[in-house]
Structure 1
Amino acid sequence: MCDKDQLPVISNCASDAPEAALTSRRRRIWELSHTCHCPLVGVGLPLGYLRKLVGKMTGGRVMADDYEVHVGAVTECGTRNRLSEALQKEFERRYAPVLLRFRAAKSGEQVAQLWLAAVANGDVAGAFWAGLTHPRCSPELEEQMCRDLHMIQHQAGACVRADMSKFNQLVEENAGLARELARLQQRSQALLIDKSAELERADVLLMQARAQSIGKDSVIDGLRAELAQLQESIPGLESRTRLAQRLEQMEERERELRMQVAELRQAPARPADAPPAPAAKAEPARSMKMPIRLVDQSVLCVGGRSGNVATYRALIERVGAQFAHHDGGLEDNANMLDSSLAAADLVICQTGCISHSAYWRVKDYCKRTGKRCVFIDNPSISSLARGLQEVSGASEPVALD
């Protein structure tokens, strides 16, 4: 006999009321009011699982639509049968944690408080089942729970419609972003291909440059080895080169002296009866007339013959200037040339006896600093005297003795 048929008898017996109120047995799904079955099945179980469960109970494929399946399940919940028992087991299994929480309630007020808390948290499916089947659930609380769930379903429907609208907008926005992403990915892929090709070309050029550099280094090493062999094959090459330069300087000096001797021999002799020169004019004819601006100033002579350095010094110091000399890198340290140029007030560069490096260093330094510089092609005493005469602006030649 179905337990549902006994409910009116229990509710009408006044003597059994205290026992029913104090019982701890939870109600089954077929013992609930028929008005509770529809929201319980609709909220408590997913529609897909319900169709699967109905098909399993009927032993075949369910051809009815979703509404018919729902209505059929609600109808079967009114009595105890295979489907209602299967639904009872599924509810018990699915909402076991919620049932444990509601088991601590000892009165209808505590059950109501747990239900309100579940409504506030938005988790009403398990609380609805645990509250309806609780032994302390009164008909008034059952009706209130059904009302609350009814309004929640209305609100949920409105929220679903709003969510569907937002979902459709998001779908459209996502489609637009997907198209933009695809376009950017194509562009990025094209740029990556271009950069890869450019990098490959750069690698090829780098390999070529490295190969050329290695080839040049090999050539330089070969030339250095050949130069070392040549230097080893000629013993005393450096000293021979220096001696050859000295020999060339001495030959040039000898030619100049011979020219001076020839000039003196060709000069006309003074008549014997010529009156002596006045005492006022007894000053040597070769006295130097230099401007005062060279007095107590430093004159640097770069280059020239080493044998004429003493004559250069005497010629410069005769006008009161200080003499300094640098051979232009032949024997003196070339690094000392900059300090000598900085200390000089006038620079005389004898280009005939100077290295190319020293020549360009003197020219560049004087051009940058604006220092006076005289370039003399012939490293002779007379050429130095003419250079001094040109700088000083003297009207008479500079004395050579």
Structure 2
Amino acid sequence: MQTPPFQLARTSTLGARDACCQPTEADLRSSRRRARLAELDSHLHCSVIGTCLSTGELRKLVPKFTDLDRYHASDLEIHHAAVELAIAGGAGAKALNKALDERYAGAIRRFEAARDPQALVDLWTEALKSGDIPPAYWAVMSHPQATIEVRQSAFGELHMLSHLVGAANRADIRRLVALESENQELREKIERQQARLLELSGQRDASVKQSTEYALQLAALAERKADSSTTQLEAEVTRLREKIDDGERRLALHTSRREAAEQRAQQEEDETRALRNKLGEAQALLKVVQAECAALERATLDAGGQPDARRRAVEWVSGKRIVYVGGRPNSNAVLKSLVDAAGGELIVHDGGIEDRKGLLAAALPHADVVLFPVDCIDHDSMSMLKRVCERNGVEYSPLRTASVASFVEFVARLNASAQHAHTSTPPPSAFCLRHG
């Protein structure tokens, strides 16, 4: 990936040069000063904050400069507020910059050895191979020798890593199923061990009781026959005491084994609970994807050569004006054809990449509903459309992805709601901005 998926900002600093919103490279190299967070291009703030700062750190820092509640705000709200602070500059951006510098001081010192852009790229490549991404990413983005090309290259490689993580989800589900089976086998093994420990404990108690009875009998016998052989009684008592000591040693051994087994059982139970939570999240995402696939199949079904079958799948949009913000050009063209075929109007705005953002604010008040895919829209456009829709009383809803399936599944739910409840209010989206 040679360039990021957005248009770079333009600035008139020092004679109308084309560069990101940051000090010129010559100025940084001459002053040997690292770039601050607020000096980076605004489109890089999302990746820097999302990669290099955890949600816990942001929950402690962001509420100091905003009116968000650190305990009740969602992760997305916290992240979005942090990006806005970085773009705005000021005290919030300085605090974020300080947190990054303190957390990754070691990586910054290690990257100071780079005296030219190529050496900086070599250090970044080594960090990618070792998997130590967050420290190296901040050290590269803020390095005095980081050119526009170096930052674009690091951004692109980080972007592709996110795709690899998504592709690994299916393998994770298979591993979860295997772990569930293994956990069941371990639980059965623990139950057998506990039953064996109970059996050994009963044998130990019986042995101790028998030894005690023997000792009492010998003591009574010694009282009744005080004139009998003292040597034989002492030998018998010694033997019984040794037997009791042996029983106590065995008791201590079995007790330690039982406690160790209980600890292992508790650990495995905690691991099982964590795996069940992960499995539940994966199954919830799978249900959403299955619903989208089913809706897309119904919408594209030819129905024996009857074109009306496709229109019925999205008949809710008939006579409706829909504004779609973000997305991808290929998917947007298919969506527009579906809506036009159903007798509706779909207005597509890419969020400011090629279309002017002023056109978006003018189109929103006249829409019946506003849709936007959360995986293909920038923060500024999402914030603006929410404000405009709330001001004008226009319904808006997020879509899980920019795919045709997410759009068709949303419209199918609106069809079902309109048929059963006879109401024009769109139901809330089944997609959660936090959990997916």
TMscore range, shorter length: 0.3 to 0.5
Indicate the structure whose relative CO is greater, using CA pairs within 8 Å and at least 6 residues apart. 2
TM-score by length of 1: 0.47
Q: TM-score normalised to the size of structure 2?
A: 0.43
